[in-house]
Chains A and B, each alone.
Chain A
Amino acid sequence: MPDGSITKTAMLEVGDLHAFYGESHVLHGVSLDVRQGEVVTLLGRNGAGKTTTMRSIMGIVGKRRGSIRFQGQQLIGMAQHRIPRLGIGYVPEERGIFSSLSVDENLTLPPVVKPGGMTVPQIYELFPNLKGRGSTQGTRLSGGEQQMLAIARILRTGATLILLDEPTEGLAPVIIEQIGVAVRALKARGFTIVLVEQNFHFAATIADRHYVMEEGRIVDMIPNDQLHANMDKLHTHLGV
């Protein structure tokens, strides 16, 4: 610990996590930990198991072994709908904006699970693009706006850990920049964030540490300040 601070306790600890889709064994002993207030990325090629790791934490992938502790509580074996109620917000890769709900309804759908969530005006301040769009059908928003909405709706809930799966995927550079500003603002507010990214230039501007995944395993952990020194290794892992 650089400062030995007791506030930087591990918020999420994943140990020797195995996960399965039916018979197919996808995660082979993933271990990682995320301290309170940290932004940690999961980097890795397509199919490395980044999304599966997040889905396992949320309990969406039910067939899993090993240990996932959030603030000391074991999540494996817990009823699926209880996991988010501990204060974990999930922004899925496909964004999951509901087409039968208006923007407002999408925004207020996730129930408040803890006190201290952001208010709707604060959320609009963070994502000005969403302002005044309340009655629009959710899926009529542009891809970037849908991504903002997917992030915005969990900020109300009081979740303190946010799992963000590829928030920049398929978006134009200006929109990526806006999302970057928002994620940095969330970090400044004290949110703990696990971020899946293919775009590690984006990741490097935000994260404290990077976990590199390959074929269902964590193969490396690189602190952000050593990213440059490890570029070659990273290029081999990510195949870019």
Chain B
Amino acid sequence: MVQLLGIPPQALFGQLLLGLINGSFYALLSLGLAVIFGMLNVVNMAHGALYMVGAFLAWLLMTHAGIGYWPALVLAPLMVGAIGLLLERTMLRRLYKVDHLYGLLLTFGLALIFEGIFRHQYGVSGQPYPIPDLLKGGSNLGFMFLPTYRGWVVAFSLLVCFGTWYAIERTRLGAYLRAATENPTLVQAFGINVPVMVSLTYGFGVALAGLAGVLAAPIYQVNPLMGSNLIIVVFAVVVIGGMGSILGAIVTGLGLGLLEGLTKVFYPEAANIVVFVIMAVVLMIKPAGLFGRER
């Protein structure tokens, strides 16, 4: 078999695929964070916990109601979105007039509460979630073996990410969102109900996290701490891409996932820190992030 720089291609492409899958989750999660930050100016520390809640909801729907993967792919994000609406309306909303730090602290507290509840109920050992029948198995691409479910996760995440990007950058509703991000007072003075838009934006952003959770359930196990493990890297991704930049979140998420995969092949010792090294470098050279605008 051909070797690339002494690495068997199976291993290389296998790691790249893993990287791409991680990257898909980074992209979905940082996209939600970026949308929320742009509109609410809140660093949503509860994002990882709501990703976990999305995965748990899928698992609960399956084990308690016999509702399978496909309906859960719609239901769980909707439920997470509804939780988000409730949180925004009852708590976050009260904090817009004070320093943004309070929003960060509140959502951090909420994350701890969500994780605490699920840990208390289900312990820290993971719950397995089966791959849906339609996506079982895989195909041999010649240079590597592609498990169908993983291919699906990458393709579907990309679709959702670029669909979101299109909706924000190219549609009328997106124009409202961009305008309200820039100058909510004026958008309101044109007769648009901005507080409702803000709630829906938060709901949508966390629904994306819930969706990522459902997608992750069959790959990783469903575990109360799955969110907090991932979210630290996702925040680094957001910092690198630039707070509030939609395209930046997507591209950086995928790119860093791939880069992590490559590092695992060529220099495994650095795989866990490569994202943070890049973050430090980017912060030194371009503090607003690769795609960010100076505020």
Contact = CB atoms under 8 A, between A and B. Distances in A.
Task: Indicate, yes or no, whether A interacts with B.
Answer: yes
Contacts of B193: 79, 81
6 contacts: A60-B185, A60-B189, A81-B188, A81-B194, A96-B186, A101-B179
A202 to B, nearest CB: 24
- Which residue among B186, B193, B194 has the maximum number of chain A CB atoms within 10 Å of its CB? B186
B295 interface: no
Given A84-B190, A92-B186, A99-B182, 13 more contacts: A59-B189, A60-B188, A84-B189, A92-B189, A96-B186, A98-B182, A105-B175, A108-B172, A109-B175, A109-B179, A109-B187, A110-B190, A111-B192
Contact of A81 (B175, B181, B183, B191): B191
Interface of A: 58-60, 79-85, 90, 92, 96, 98-101, 105, 108-111, 113, 154, 157
Contact of B178 (A59, A92, A100, A110): A100
Interface in B189-235: 189-194
Nearest to B170: A105
A99 B39 CA distance: 15
B165 interface: no
Interface of B: 172, 175-176, 178-179, 181-183, 185-194
Contacts of A108: 172, 175
A60 B60 CA distance: 46
Nearest to B190: A110
Nearest to A87: B191
A111 B190 contact: yes
A109 B190 contact: yes
Contacts of B187: 109
Given A105-B175, A108-B172, A98 B183 contact: yes
Contacts of A154: 190
B152 to A, nearest CB: 33
B264 to A, nearest CB: 37
Nearest to B181: A100
A30 to B, nearest CB: 19
A100 B188 contact: no
Contacts of A101: 175, 178-179
Contacts of B182: 98-100
Nearest to A139: B182
A223 to B, nearest CB: 30
A111 B172 CA distance: 10
B40 to A, nearest CB: 16
Q: Please provide the 9 A-B residue pairs with the shortest distance between their CB atoms, ordered closest to farther.
A: A84-B191, A110-B190, A100-B178, A85-B191, A96-B186, A81-B193, A105-B175, A98-B179, A90-B189
B270 to A, nearest CB: 37
Contact of A109 (B176, B181, B188): B176
Contacts of B191: 81-85, 110-111, 113, 157
A9 B9 CA distance: 82
B99 to A, nearest CB: 16
